[in-house]
Structure 1
Amino acid sequence: MAALPEQPDKLDIYLNHRAALVDYAAPIVGCRAQAEDVVQDAWLRFAQNPSSSLPMRQPVGYLYRIVRNLALDVQRRLGRERRPDDSQAALGQLPSTTPDPERQVSSQAQLRRLHQSVQTLPPRTREAFALHRLEGLTLQEVARRLDISVGLAHQLVRAALSHCAEQLDDH
């Protein structure tokens, strides 16, 4: 069995190819400083290779492979980190659900007119309206609470709604 030729020291391999490795990683990660970090990390992995006692057939190729894999990992990580920024930009382009000041003032005025309109209702009609529309009771529940028929509860609520609509239309 033929003996493998004497291998150069790992540190010598790294130092002899360091500049070329940085040049190789820079286009992948998009930044020379980041490429320097990738090459440093690659050196650590290359030097700590568990099979370091065994001779490597292509140590330079192995070192380039480590650099490439680490550079691709960095590129993927940076891509994931940038995505939330893109979604934030998209959110910024959505129309606001907050009404403009003019619409707010108009809505407030309508609410005041509605409140005044409800206050002018007869007490029984006002109570039926409040129970049904504000408290969310069904007409059957309103009828039971007021001790009236379901039909009368319906008439009272409908009368209140008609009255309020007329008051809002008049303004």
Structure 2
Amino acid sequence: MGNRTALISYSARILGSRDAAEDIVQEAYIRFGLGNFPQQTARQGLACLYRIVRNLSLDIVKRRKIEQRTQNNDPPFWIVPRSTETPEQTTMFCDEVRIAQQVLASLPRDIQIAVEMHRHGGCTLEVVAEHLGISVATAHRHVKTAMVKIAMALDRKNA
């Protein structure tokens, strides 16, 4: 038990928690005491204790990482129940898409390309600007202009 503090410090560096390290060291002493170790020198016994503490600590770290991975991930899309839309909702959505398409078709070709690349293609404004040979600010203005006109047309429809 003379090396308990050093073992706790060793485990705490791995785990980041002194409380958890104390539990690990206690478990290590239990395992060391129950183990069928042949006659060992004090130095070999201490090395064995350090190895047990290290392995137990790393097991805890691995378990934490696995738990974090499973907690942070959203469930796969195919597990989540899909809401069923009513025919009215589907019709309203189709009407809104039609209005957005009409507004977009009424805009100049550069603005149409900018919106399609940015909103549908996932391109950055820098890529859009480079493709169209315009500044990034102008590309942003094109996308913003189109989105405002679409929003205004949808508001008029819903009013």
Q: TM-score range by the shorter chain?
A: 0.3 to 0.5
Computing the radius of gyration over CA atoms, which structure comes out larger, 1 or 2? Answer: 1
Give the structure-2-normalised TM-score: 0.46
